Amino acid sequence: MQYMSTRGDTKTVSFADACLAGLAPDGGLYTPVEYPKLAPASGKESYTDIATRVLSAFAGDSISEADVQTLVAKAYASFAHQSVTPLSEIGPDQWLLELHHGPTLAFKDVAMQIIAQFYDHLLAERGQRLTVLCATSGDTGGAAAAAFAGLESVDVFILHPHERISPIQRRFMTSTGASNVHNFALDGDFDESQAIVKALFADQTFRQDVRLSGVNSINWTRIAAQSVYFATAQAALGSERKLRFVVPTGNFGDALAAYVAARCGLLNGLEIVSAVNANRTMVDLMETGKLSKRAAHATHSPAMDIALPSNAERLLFEVMQRDTDQLRNFYNQFAQSGAAELSDQARGALGCVGVKAVSIDDGETEAEMKRLYQETGTLQCPHTAVGTAAARATRDASADSVDVILSTAHAAKFPETVEAITGHTPALPERSESWLARDEVFERLPSDLNAVREAIRERVS
Ligand SMILES: *Cc1c(COP(=O)(O)O)cnc(C)c1O
């Protein structure tokens, strides 16, 4: 299995290289040269069986199937539910796909746990070390800290804006007790942390000296790992049923993973609703064929406060029939002028691909969280509520499909918001309580590029 960049660099790379690099050198995103053809999951296969089969197909010659199986087993041993991503019924023909049973209570764990295992395996084989760097506004940092804690071959540096994330989000990153996980609390906001990370990736000397690598959702491994739970949902609800997946969306990683599952033959058809909050870039792109630059708005669902969904690039690559020149020109145009428009052909193809987008604002999210509490007795996280509200807003009563709404985080990860809206405080699952008693370790730094660069240099082993 070989991978190519969406932006036309002609060199193809192995899964191992695509996985460890994250972003392609020409600034594009790695995508398989050809999608593997896979048999749909059967009800007899366990989550780890299906993950092994799917991830082995994507890993190709880079990792043997036996090794994938061992790594998958390790990755998902930390999940609190034996099905890893169980379904729960919330109404007639309406199911939640619960993605929050991992160690840090958000769906980022599903992919991050296996990425960490793949990194450790591939780096041990090569006798190399890498430095993983990420900025977080909450969920990615915790998932990365939990997944990479204690691994031999990776140092992880996580930048978070000091006192601007919730205490439980901070604890998940700062109390792993692992000496290879380094937390910097920067005196600035998330955008400043993100800008420092980008500047460090652009600094070629530094990048090579510390062997920098990225694990955000531009990394193909995340998409591959997330395609698995769409396949397991299809198997659990019956291979002959039509499913409509409603996906709370920020960077469009999860929604793209559903598309990938369908392309590989793991789903019975494809119908996706990409549910965004007031950050409506995906809706405008689908409705007008134009991508426009905007500022991100802060909402009740902070993990989805994204103005430019990075994984939309992979979908546009497909609707442009993999014409890398067209895609590169589109993004160059966007970078230069802040707007770019699809060709008529691409716009037509985007309309038929099976993806819709719908925006749910904070008022609708609040009403949905209250309604869910009253009608089902459950407290849901604001991201999940954007999904269930979008499902209700777009449901066609005569449709013969079943709705599967992704529950992307546990309500207890956003206790302040859930409490303010519903008047009830979600209980932290028992398995997470021990985090509250652990010591936190983080260093405060000024929000300054040189200070962060020097601090990383000093600590890389
Ligand atoms: C990251 C995240 C999302 C958005 O997922 P994308 O793959 O970026 O679209 C939604 N909900 C929660 C809780 C998240 O952490």
Q: Is residue 50 part of a domain?
A: no
Find out whether the beta carbon of 324 lies less than 6 Å from any atom of ligand 1: no
Task: Spell out a b/e string for 370-403, using b for 16 or more CB atoms within 10 Å of the CB, else e.
Answer: eebbeeeeebbbbbbbbbbbbbbebbeeeeebbb
For residue range 264-316, list pLDDT tens digits in order. Answer: 999 999 999 999 999 999 999 999 999 999 888 889 999 898 888 999 999 99
Q: Is residue 75 part of a domain?
A: no
- DSSP letter string over 181-239? EEEEEEES-HHHHHHHHHHHHH-HHHHHHHTEE--STTSHHHHHHHHHHHHHHHHHH-T
For residue range 312-357, list pLDDT tens digits in order. Answer: 999 999 999 999 999 999 999 999 999 999 999 999 999 999 999 9
Helix (H) or strand (E) run with residue 154 in it: strand 154-161
CA 436 from chain centre, in angstroms, equals 25
Decide if 388 contacts 301 (C-beta within 8 A).
no
Q: Which residues pair with 248 in a beta bridge?
A: 275
Find out whether the beta carbon of 250 lies less than 6 Å from any atom of ligand 1: yes
> What CATH number has the domain bearing residue 290?
3.40.50.1100
Find out whether the beta carbon of 252 lies less than 6 Å from any atom of ligand 1: yes
Candidate from 29, 218, 254 with most ligand 1 atoms within 8 A of CB, to mutate: 254
Residue 217 has pLDDT above 80, yes or no: no
Q: Is residue 332 part of a domain?
A: yes
Which value, to the nearest 10 degrees, does the dihedral of the CA atoms of residues 218, 83, 88, 278 take?
Answer: -10
Decide if 456 contacts 157 (C-beta within 8 A).
yes
Q: Is residue 283 part of a domain?
A: yes
Decide if 85 contacts 97 (C-beta within 8 A).
yes
- DSSP letter string over 40-92? PP-TTS-HHHHHHHHHHHHHGGGS-HHHHHHHHHHHHTT-SSTTSS-EEEEET
Average pLDDT over residues 57-64: 98
Please indicate whether residue 1 or residue 27 has the higher confidence score (pLDDT): 1
- Catalytically active residues are 108
CA distance 158 to 446: 14
The minimum-distance atom of ligand 1 relative to the CA of 251 is 8
- Which of these, 7, 3, 30, lies nearest to 325 by C-alpha position? 7
Is residue 11 helix, strand or coil?
Answer: coil
pLDDT reported for residue 215: 84
- Cα separations in angstroms, 63 against 67, 121, 201, 326: 6, 9, 27, 33
Decide if 307 contacts 278 (C-beta within 8 A).
no
Decide if 78 contacts 31 (C-beta within 8 A).
no
Q: Is residue 430 part of a domain?
A: no
Q: For residue 347, give the amino acid letter.
A: R
The minimum-distance atom of ligand 1 relative to the CA of 252 is 9
CA distance 217 to 194: 14
Residue 452 pLDDT class (50, 70, 90 cuts): very high
Decide if 133 contacts 214 (C-beta within 8 A).
yes
pLDDT reported for residue 120: 96
CA distance 185 to 136: 10
Residue 193 pLDDT class (50, 70, 90 cuts): confident
For residue range 34-58, list pLDDT tens digits in order. Answer: 999 999 999 999 999 999 999 999 9
Helix (H) or strand (E) run with residue 158 in it: strand 154-161
Number of domains in the chain: 1
Q: Is residue 18 part of a domain?
A: no
Q: Is residue 92 part of a domain?
A: yes
pLDDT reported for residue 397: 84
Find out whether the beta carbon of 304 lies less than 6 Å from any atom of ligand 1: yes
Find out whether the beta carbon of 410 lies less than 6 Å from any atom of ligand 1: no
Residue 137 has pLDDT above 80, yes or no: no
Candidate from 29, 85, 304, 306 with most ligand 1 atoms within 8 A of CB, to mutate: 304
Q: Is residue 146 part of a domain?
A: no
Decide if 122 contacts 63 (C-beta within 8 A).
yes
Residue 259 has pLDDT above 80, yes or no: yes
pLDDT reported for residue 138: 77
pLDDT reported for residue 119: 96
Residue 22 pLDDT class (50, 70, 90 cuts): confident
Model pTM score = 0.95
Q: What percent of the chain has pLDDT over 70?
A: 100
Find out whether the beta carbon of 249 lies less than 6 Å from any atom of ligand 1: yes
Reported residue count of the chain is 461
For residue range 394-442, list pLDDT tens digits in order. Answer: 998 888 999 999 999 999 999 999 999 999 999 999 999 988 889 999 9
Q: In what order do the strands lie in the sheet with 30-32?
A: 13-14, 2-5, 30-32
- Which of these, 19, 14, 10, lies nearest to 221 by C-alpha position? 19
CA distance 174 to 23: 27
The mean predicted confidence, pLDDT, of the chain is: 95
Helix (H) or strand (E) run with residue 96 in it: strand 94-98
CA distance 236 to 56: 22
Q: If 0-12 CB within 10 Å is exposed, 13-18 middle and 19+ buried, where does residue 416 land?
A: exposed
The minimum-distance atom of ligand 1 relative to the CA of 409 is 13
**15 secondary structure, DSSP code:** H
Domain limits for position 412: 87-105+220-422
Residue 461 has pLDDT above 80, yes or no: no
Candidate from 220, 227, 229, 251 with most ligand 1 atoms within 8 A of CB, to mutate: 251
pLDDT reported for residue 139: 86
Q: How many other CB atoms sit within 10 Å of the CB of residue 42?
A: 10
Find out whether the beta carbon of 225 lies less than 6 Å from any atom of ligand 1: no
- Which of these, 165, 62, 151, lies nearest to 113 by C-alpha position? 151
Please indicate whether residue 386 or residue 139 has the higher confidence score (pLDDT): 386
